[in-house]
Amino acid sequence: MKGYEAYLVQDLVIESQNTLYRRARYELLDGRSLLARLPADVLPGKHFGATLIGYILHQYYNAGVTQGLLLQSLRDHGVDISEGQLSLLLTEGHEAFHQEKDAAVAYWERQELAAATIEKLRRGPQSFADEAAWQAWLLAVGITDKRQVRIATEGALLGGLVERGVSAKLSVLSDGAPQFDLFEHASCWVHAERPLLRMVPYHDAHRALIEQIREQIWALYKDLKAYRQQPDPAQKPLLEARFDALWNQKTDYPSINAVLKVIRDHKADLLRVLERPEVPLHNNAAESDIREYVKKRKISGGTRSVAGRQCRDTFTSLKKTCRKLGVNFWNYLQDRLRRLGNMPRLADLIRERATTQRVPLGQAVPT
């Protein structure tokens, strides 16, 4: 014998596989009965397996096989399925997939992308191999305008995040900039009030009115803060009514009225805390975290390469995460560089912290 010679043969196994489960039923003393559970890999309420359903969806939505031909093909392979069952598998119970698409479509609509363009995007493929494939498809369907390409790409990336596990109910707290109006958006009260703070008074009466409205704002803010500490559903309509009364008031000064209108238009974002008490009322903590980036940019003018920017972002983020978790950053670096594996992954520490204690509430701002 002089060894082996490799000879690779590729094939595809397509066959139906039917499994009959005999589920034990137990009768209890009180007259009720219990039915044994099915294995974990059996889809709840489904008499068809995940591989078969995936094949059906792939053939119909990706390969373009008609429902009639698909039905005949399945039967040829020994699958006992009716036309109605196939139709249900193609159209029902796909909320997770809809969530990915709807997140993207909602973003496109908020960004006022043309309805015709959105329709092209909706009817297009749901995934692409890489950026080049995405750009080629946009070009093929006539989406070439710079703004349309940007919005389409941002929406697609957003949908991809949802598909990979980011909850569509994720709360995003920002200073009110439109590019952060994603998921369940919340606005910072400090930034909402800032236009009044920066307003140059015309005279003493104008100044007094500005200060009066600012006092009303922080009085409401104080009560929202108290609600966040101890949520009380009975207080929600009262706080909403106070918000409306504050921002719907009319003054003799158009400049003040304009600010009030802008803030009134962001009511849902500013009162997000009434539905999600865990959401802070301001984003001071986030601005503090990003301040280091700003300082470095002022000193160095930025990085020279993509790799440099990536390292800057990575290590600054890791350092701040270590600090928030009470982890010694030096020890963390040594553990990773030496591949000791003595220190848990930061993601695991974050999950552990989240399950053992409530996220600390933000520090107070003007009251």
Question: Looking at residue 362, what is its pLDDT?
Answer: 40
CA angle centred on 332, ends 328 and 335, rounded to 5° = 140
pLDDT, tens only, 282-292: 776 655 655 65
Nearest to 326 by CA among 343, 341, 338: 343
Question: Which tops the pLDDT comparison, 264 or 104?
Answer: 264
Residue 318 has pLDDT above 60, yes or no: yes
- Residue 296, pLDDT above cutoff 80: no
Quick one: pLDDT band at residue 367, thresholds 50, 70, 90? very low
Split at pLDDT 50, 70, 90, the class of 8 is: very high
Of 230 and 125, more confident: 230
pLDDT for the residue 329: 76
> Is residue 45's pLDDT more than 50?
yes
Q: Which pLDDT score, from 0 to 100, does residue 109 have?
A: 73
- In this prediction, residue 363 carries a pLDDT of 41
pLDDT tens profile 84-112: 888 888 777 666 555 545 576 776 777 77
d(CA 46, CA 89): 9
> Left (φ > 0), alpha (ψ -120 to 50) or beta: where does 32 sit?
beta
Domains of the chain: which residue ranges?
Answer: 25-91, 95-168, 184-274, 284-356
Single-letter amino acid, residue 228: R
Geometric angle at alpha carbon 237, from 236 and 241, rounded to 5°: 120
- pLDDT value of residue 92: 75
pLDDT at 72 over 80: yes
- Which of 211-220, 238-247, 343-352 shows the lowest mean pLDDT across its residues? 343-352
Please give the pLDDT value at position 7.
92
Q: Which of 20-24, 310-314, 339-343 has the lowest mean pLDDT?
A: 310-314
Q: How confident is the model at residue 298, as a pLDDT?
A: 62
Tell how far CA 68 is from the center of its chain. 38
Instruction: Give per-residue pLDDT as tens, 231-246.
Output: 888 888 888 888 888 8
51 band by pLDDT with thresholds 50, 70 and 90: confident
Contact criterion met (CB below 8 Å) for 184 and 171: yes
pLDDT of residue 359: 44
Tokens of 79: 């699958």
Q: How far is CA 95 from the centre of its chain?
A: 16
pLDDT at 365 over 50: no
- CB environment 64-98: b (16+ within 10 A), e (fewer): ebeeeebbeebeeeebebeeeebeebbeeeeeeee
Torsion of CA 198, 202, 203, 208, to 10 degrees: -40
pLDDT at position 150 over 60 = yes
pTM given for the model = 0.45
